[in-house]
Structure 1
Amino acid sequence: MPVAERKTAVAIREEAARLFFERGFNATSLRDVAAAVGLKVGSLYNHIESKEDLLLQIMGGIIDDLLEHARQALAEATGDAVDRLQAVLAAHLRFHAERAQTVFIGNTELRSLSPDAHQKIVDKRQEYETFLRGLVEDAGRAGLADLIDTRIHVYSFVAQATHIASWYQPGRRKSLDEIVRDYTKLALRELGVSDADARVDRQHAGAHGAAV
């Protein structure tokens, strides 16, 4: 796809996501999206099949991006199974805070999809949850975490990140770094990691030291 077409496709998704967040999917027309991008409605169909396809692109894309960020964090992580899990959880939390609008759409507009499209998003979510569950299980097998139910632990981590996305705004009392640090401590404490706070503080200090 030529660069200009890629830029247009990205602009369409970005403006659609903004409108879906502000007005809701059902209250936003393709004419609204086209006007926001500066296109005629007919030109949208060079990039999408329908309004539902546009929503599916947005919702599927956010999960793809999240999984990519998490895998990148894992690839860059060092240390034992808990250190690797902690690095992924930090990326998971930060991503949700920084991409709050599209996260919100993903959580509220699933009901707007047809059964086939709905299943596509469910499958992508399950892929991500399976990825997280594998890391939790690794920590348990290494004897570094006291697991209750890996699936429930993962649901808890997803809920924590969704919670951050619902209220986080830059410039508040705590920085995003501090919020990620605190929520990561909560996650590792939940897993029964004996030195949870020390691990998180050490990684937090190391990350800031590397950035200096």
Structure 2
Amino acid sequence: MSVKQNVKEYKRELILEAAAKLFYEKGFQKTTIDDIGSALGVTKPFIYTYFENKYAILEQLFEQAYGELHVDLMQVLNNRKGAAKDRLQQFVTLYVAKNIEYQKFSAIMLEEEKSLSARKIGDIRRKQRDFDAKLARLIEEGVSNGEFHVGDPMIASLAISGMVRWTHRWYSPQGRLSAADLTRTMSDLALNLVGCAPA
């Protein structure tokens, strides 16, 4: 990548970071391009050089945050080696850690999905269905080999995913649990949910 391309990418990232902060604090609908420009000390034409409108900014935020999260979690779910219990713990630990790491993005993803284009929503829905199905298959595997005891692996999959996805709403670094404590607690809860006592 050339120096010019590096500079352009750096400026795009600055816009995305400023927009993410404002979308998180004010909400997408209440944030304007002027607000984003003011936060960066630049004019609207500067923003429009890199993004067509604020919807394009939102979609790029989704592409980055959801894309990275999806790739990392799918690597765990696609791994077929080791006990199902260990893989489920690894999955939940990573999922919780990523929700904490990307707390602002997680909030934006849940609150502002309705503002995306139909094409982007369709893409996200397809990825979510694939994600849920693979987590359910991991739980089914645990049921088949006697590690887990749960009647409906798909419902268990959705329950675990839902439990983790809302972490951003209530987790605070200044709270009672550290990030490491929370990941351990949540992975234990996931094991309890599938009828497997934590070690």
Smaller-chain TM-score range? 0.7 to 0.9
Distance 1:75 1:125, change over 3 A: closer
CA distance in 1, matches of 2:144, 2:63: 32
How many residues end up aligned between the 2 structures? Answer: 196
Aligned-pair CA distance for 1:123: 2.5
Q: Is 1:112 aligned to residue 88 of structure 2?
A: no
Map 1:1-212 to 2 at 5 A.
Answer: 2-71=5-74, 73=76, 79-193=82-196, 196-198=197-199
Q: Which amino acid aligns with 2:166?
A: H
Q: Which amino acid aligns with 1:186?
A: L
Structure 1 gap segments, 5+ residues each: 199-212
Give percent identity, aligned residues only: 28
Higher RCO, 1 vs 2 (CA within 8 Å, ≥6 residues apart):
2
CA distance in 2, matches of 1:40, 1:123: 37
* Root mean square deviation, CA, Å: 2.3
CA distance in 1, matches of 2:178, 2:38: 36
Aligned-pair CA distance for 1:61: 2.1
Which string of whole-angstrom CA distances, capped at 9 and with x for unpartnered residues, describes residues 151-177 of structure 1?
Answer: 211221122113321111113222111
Distance 1:141 1:10, change over 3 A: farther
TM-score normalised by the chain length of structure 2: 0.86
TM-score normalised by the chain length of structure 1: 0.81
